[in-house]
A and B are shown apart, each in its own frame.
Chain A
Amino acid sequence: MMRHISIILIGALFGAGLALSGMLNPSKVAGFLDLFGTWDPSLAFVMGGGVVANFIGHRIVMRRPGPVFASGTAGFRIPVNNAIDSKLVIGSALFGIGWGLGGLCPGPAISSLLLAPGDAVLFVLMMLAGLAVGRMLTSGPAATPAAQA
């Protein structure tokens, strides 16, 4: 029970952080990516705050033998794939094009679903379709979850 509640609460902390930071606002995201226009640097603070908090904490967490709610023998599931290949670069480059066009990345698209359903629902449905097609094109449905960051 505590395990389930904790996952919902962590998801809510993430969603609240996205909302407070401005990431749910597509025009603000586009303003950040508009480096050659009137640039809104706010989202650099989101990335900076998030990475630094996680960087410091990660070092402390990794001293533990495994997660608090360990399931079976699974420890910390850190991605093991270290390959810098064309899949990584082409996929990420494609993602950036979609991010620039719509001003939404996967997290904010989900967290804005109930706030601006008109815009977000269609985006999210097509995003889920894209995820399914992408997974079929690459490693198929049996893709190891640990390798998917």
Chain B
Amino acid sequence: MSIDFQNFTPYASLIGGVMIGLAALLLMLAHGRVMGVSGILGGIVMPSGKSDIGWRILFVIGMLAGPFAVIHLLDRPVDIMPAASGMILPVAGFIVGLGTAIGSGCTSGHGICGLARLSPRSLVAVGAFMATGIATVFLVRHVM
């Protein structure tokens, strides 16, 4: 292992991470909801009641707008370089949706929110998706 210092962005990543943590905190403080994106989206795809959809759609609208605040207010470019191409991307998308529905959470719900609550369940989930994520990138980049 060697450190990729060329792409290392400790300050921007730490500040961005704190903003993500504050958003999770504010959603709990203001609305009593866990900021788990797979759960929020799941409730749009398979609603459990009419009154439960509105806040989810508003949250997604905010999520779509947020990056433009970074580009136009902070005057910072937001780099997006794909890691996969062709059929791999839609297959990956399906697996992400399926896995987070079965495992009841993703990087935000289990990672940012569950770990902050010291939930053993979320710690197991984070360990599992980090392990298979690292294994998958190892296979794709160094074996195949």
B-binding residues in A (CB < 8 A):
3-4, 6-31, 33-43, 45-55, 57-58, 61, 64, 66-71, 74-79, 81-84, 87-107, 109-116, 119, 122-138, 141-145, 147-149
Contact = CB atoms under 8 A, between A and B. Distances in A.
A22 B16 contact: yes
By size class, the interface of chain B is: 35 or more
Interface of B: 1-4, 7-10, 12-39, 41-43, 45-46, 48, 52, 54-55, 58-71, 74, 76, 78-84, 88-122, 124-126, 128-138, 140-142
Interface of A is mostly: helix
Interface of B is mostly: helix
A96 B128 contact: yes
Contact of B32 (A67, A92, A94): A67
A92 B31 contact: no
Contacts of A119: 80, 82, 89
Contact of A34 (B12, B81, B138): B138
